[in-house]
Amino acid sequence: MVNNNLVEKLALQVESFQEGFELLSKSFSFLEMVKNFLHIIRGNFIITEIYSFHKLANDSNWSNISLKKIPDPSYSSFLHDSENPSLKYFDDPRIEVSITLPLADKTYLGILIGPKFDKSNFTDFDKITLQILLQVFDSAYKSFLNQKKEKALIFELNERVLHLNNLIDAGIEISRYDKKSDLYDIALARITSMTNASSALIEIVKKSQNNHKRYIVFPTGIDPDKILTSRFKMESSFEHNDRLYNFVLSEKETRHNTTAFNELDKMLLDAVARQVQVSIENQFLNDQAIEKEKMEQELIVAASIQQRILPTELPKIAGYEFSGINIPSKEVGGDYYNCIDLGRGKFAFIIADVAGKGIGAALLVSTLDAALYSYLQFDIPLTEMSDRLNKLIYKSSPSDKYITFFIAVLDSHTGELDIVNAGHNPIFLLRKDGTLEKLDAGGVGLGMFDFGIPFAGQKSIINSGDKLFLYTDGIPEAMNEQEEEFSDERMISFFQNNAHISSQEFINALVNDVKGHTGTAPQSDDITALILKKL
Amino acid sequence: MSTDFSLNSELHDKTLVIKTEGYINNIGGEKIVQEFTKHSDVNKLILNLENSKVVNSIGISHLIEVIEILNQGNGKLVFTNLDPTIEKTFSIMGLFQFAEKADTVDAALNS
């Protein structure tokens, strides 16, 4: 009969046990769960004094985890150790029940329950209820631990997905940035976040500048030394174009401390560093391609300027025969030649070479050409004209640009030659009898200096059967694949041995000889030559 | 641990608005939790992350703690002024299942 009553009473309590389980299961933390459990016990047995304690597996002392302090240390003596759920009942006005509950995480919960409010003793029903409540707590705590594990697993899984996503996004963002400062900032922010690093930096060492170092840090403002000397750090580096890029992560964070980085962190760091490397390399190649394209465009313009300036047809001079050629190199040099009819049987033969190549050289040739046409209209001495040209070129060109220049004004009636050689290679006059004369009087190249030093002139006469050979350094300096020059000697020898053939044949044969020497080697400079023969 | 993190807060009745600045890492996350727990009767937290562009997992774990505390008391957390990177991060980490987002603090105050 008594048992039947107990069963009935317990059946009525089932709903209350279920509610208790739900309340406990919803607890946010262990402490909150214990707090709620004490509330349940208080409510079930109408108790005012109740204390909870906790201890770890290997701990000999219990820690009071109640909101209320125990009235005096003697209360602790009611606590007891047990490897199984254990309840001890006392006939003591301070504590009536001592509970030890081993928990699923190998820790222990201790509970001390004071007298009931009505001072009555714990009945059998109370004792069974208490046993069941302990089981409810145990189940709820297991459920709580499982939920915690599940949350941790979901968090970890999400974190891995986040890593993957961050890596992909970082790759896209890094490849998109063309400003290196943005590239470094985004890379540092991403890798710091992905690895839970406390801080990070990129150290850029420029080797050719005495290992000069530059640092980019995250978070902004942190002292690089603090990162470089930190206890836990991880590094990844690469080299590109004279620079060493060293990525350093510092202090991996946990909720309570910092720790060493792991293998996954290393993989992530290497991956981000590699993305930055690829981006820098791509940017470098892109810059080079743009520069190359720019140069090619410039060369097209330069070639067009040069071809417009060079004569398409040379004047005919009675009693003389002459031919000229200009073969521009791929890089377009600044070679110039011309024969200008000055009237009254006078003709100016000019050959010049601008130091440098490309559009700058072509524009300087253009300036020279215009100035020559202008000055040659006036019958001023060549030395004075050369001085004026020098001043003009000096003013209109940068310090590294100058022109080697040769001019010979021929009086076709008398064969008189009025000559100035401003820094150009010696020009050769081959006499009918085989004597070779050098025409090199003049001065320095046009535009080199403006010291007011006068140019020296030279007079000569070209007689019947004599030949005047003008050329630029593209001929003697033409190189073959073994980097051997055509040479002055070979050119002079060619001139001496082939002077008897017609001027056009001479030019063609000379070009063939030079090309025969250079073979498959690319032409490195303009080839310009002009030959004048008095019949 | 290093941080450039700072925050300031304003209380509007039972709504706390916290504006952060800098890296939300362990220190940043702890500071947010500390600021939030100073105000026990708050049932809505608006977290203005306009000046925080980087967050790590430890910082997120602190935010989850705040969300859980708020949700227990039927309160809510609203993130505002989110950088697209942070918004994506929170989305992947599942924060928007338990917290809301709004474009601005004003919009969050009226939500």
Same-domain status, A381 and A529: yes
Q: Do A226 and B2 touch (CB under 8 A)?
A: yes
Q: State how far the Cα of A247 lies from the Cα of A192, in Å rounded to an integer.
A: 11
- A100 to chain B, any CB pair closer than 8 A? The answer is no
pLDDT tens column, B12-24: 999 999 999 999 9
Contact flag A253-B3 (C-beta cutoff 8 Å): no
What ipTM was reported for this prediction?
Answer: 0.91
| Interchain CB contact of A218 with B (< 8 Å) | yes
**Residue A155: inside a domain:** no
C-alpha to C-alpha distance for A363 and B58, rounded to whole angstroms: 65
Give me the residue spans of the domains in chain B: 7-109
A299 occurs within a structural domain: no
B26 touches chain A (CB under 8 A): yes
Task: Report pLDDT for B3.
Answer: 54
pLDDT digits (tens, 9 = 90+) for A399-418: 778 999 999 999 999 999 99
Per residue in A347-356, pLDDT (tens digit) is 999 999 988 7
Q: Number of structural domains, chain A?
A: 3
CATH code that applies to domain B7-109: 3.30.750.24
Mean pLDDT of the residues in chain A? 90
What is the distance between the terminal CA atoms of chain B, rounded to a whole angstrom?
Answer: 36
Nearest CA in chain A to B93: A158
Is B4 close to A219, i.e. CB distance below 8 A? yes
- Provide the shortest C-alpha distance from residue A246 to chain B (in Å): 20
Residues A346 and A491 in one domain: yes
Asked if the model's pLDDT at residue B1 lies above 60, the reply is: no
Q: Is B33 at the interface with chain A, CB within 8 A?
A: no
Q: Does the residue A166 lie in any domain?
A: no
Contact B58 A219 (CB under 8 A): no
The residue with greater pLDDT, A259 or A525, is A259
Q: Does A378 touch chain B (CB under 8 A)?
A: no
CATH number at residue A22: 3.30.450.40
Last residue of a domain, one of A104, A129, A149: A149
The reply to whether residue A196 touches residue B88, judged by beta carbons under 8 angstroms, is no
Residue of A nearest to B22 (CA): A219
Mutate: best of B24, B51, B56, partner A, most A CBs <10 A: B56
Residue A427 lies in a domain: yes
Reported as a pLDDT band with limits 50, 70 and 90, residue A1 is very low
Overall average pLDDT of the A376-380 stretch: 86
On whether both A418 and A332 belong to a single domain, the answer is yes
Q: Is residue A161 part of a domain?
A: no
Same-domain check for residues A111 and A41: yes
- DSSP letter at A73 equals G
- Nearest-by-Cβ selection for B61 from A251, A255, A258: A255
Which residues, including other chains, have CB under 8 Å from residue B52's CB and lie 6 or more apart?
A: B5, B20, B21, B22, B23, B24, B28, B83, B86
Are A441 and A487 part of one and the same domain? yes
Interface residue A30 vs chain B (CB under 8 A): no
Same-domain status, A244 and A318: no
Q: What is the CATH number of the domain that holds A337?
A: 3.60.40.10
The residue in chain B having the minimum alpha-carbon distance to the alpha carbon of residue A192 is: B56
Contact B111/A at CB under 8 A: no
Same domain membership, residue A374 and residue A447: yes
Nearest to A198 by CA among A165, A176, A174, A222: A222
Give the Cα separation of A131 and A125 in Å (integer).
Answer: 10
d(CA B5, CA A534): 91
pLDDT at res. A14: 82
Q: Are residues A324 and A473 in the same domain?
A: yes
Phi, psi at A51, each rounded to 5°: -130, 145
Based on the domain organization, do A271 and A321 belong to the same domain?
no
Q: For residue A434, is pLDDT > 60?
A: yes
Note whether A256 and A398 are same-domain residues: no
Of the partner residues A28, A196, A254, the one whose CB lies closest to the CB of residue B69: A28
Distance CA A128, CA A139 (A): 17
Asked whether residue A131 falls in the same domain as residue A194, the answer is: no
d(CA A434, CA A436): 6
CA distances (Å), origin A264, targets A114, A160, A163, A234, B88: 53, 10, 10, 11, 22
B1 and A189 within 8 Å at the Cβ level: the answer is: no
pLDDT digits (tens, 9 = 90+) for A443-466: 889 998 888 788 899 999 999 999
Q: What is the pLDDT of residue A3?
A: 61
| Full domain range(s) for residue A525 | 310-534
Nearest chain B Cα to A164, which residue? B92
pLDDT in tens, A506-530: 999 999 999 999 998 888 788 999 9
And the tokens for B20?
């952060």
In a domain, A292, yes or no: no
Taking the Cβ of residue A353 and every Cβ of chain B, the question of whether any pair is shorter than 8 Å is answered with no
pLDDT digits (tens, 9 = 90+) for A90-108: 989 899 999 999 999 999 9
A86 & A219 share domain? no
Q: Looking at the complex, does the CB of residue B91 fall below 8 Å from at least one CB of chain A?
A: no
